[in-house]
Amino acid sequence: MSGARADYQAAVDAYVAAGGDASVQRAITAISQVTKKLDQWYDRQLADLGISHGDWSVLSQLAKADGGPLTPSLLADAANLAPSSMTSRLDRMCERGLVVREPDQVKRTRVLVTLTEAGWELFAQAIREANVVESDVLADLRPEQRTTLADLLEVVLEGLDKHT
């Protein structure tokens, strides 16, 4: 049994011995360990691209908004940051040419943030590189198994939404 598999089984066994349901513990422990391993890889990828998790949060929020514009306060909320921290982050990202800040033409006291072409390129590069690893992670699954896995995880997410 590989190290990762042994760690997984030891965790499941400990939770079951403490009274947890085996099928629940297998699923939750597997999700947790997959998340941990992917997060470790994403950390390395972001470092290789010269950006932090916070920078990635800004890039991805703007990309999901079709490039923006979004307010710094909305970006701070999405990244779970204080507005002052977002200001510093946006200063750095502007210096790198990843985003631009411009006054809102409707509400002149408000600033809007938009992705630049360089920001879009960095976002796309990160997604392409992540897709290679993510595809490798799922390579042992047939397409219909991937669909089933995604469907089941979406049910779990919906259940989590009901409890939060």
Residue-range domain boundaries for the chain? 1-49, 51-163
Q: Please, what are the averages of pLDDT over each run of 10 residues along the chain (164 residues)?
A: 81 89 92 90 89 89 90 90 90 96 90 96 92 89 96 93 80
pLDDT at residue 115, as a whole number: 96
Inter-CA distances, 97 with 2, 110, 117, 119, 159, Å: 45, 21, 9, 7, 40
pLDDT at residue 1, as a whole number: 64
pLDDT at residue 162, as a whole number: 86
41 vs 49: CA distance, rounded Å = 12
pLDDT at residue 63, as a whole number: 95
67 vs 75: CA distance, rounded Å = 13
pLDDT at residue 67, as a whole number: 78
Residue 73's contacts (CB-CB under 8 Å, 6 or more residues apart) are 83, 86
pLDDT at residue 133, as a whole number: 83
Q: What is the pTM of this model?
A: 0.74
Instruction: Given CATH 3.40.1390.10, say whether it is the number of domain 51-163.
Output: no
pLDDT at residue 152, as a whole number: 95
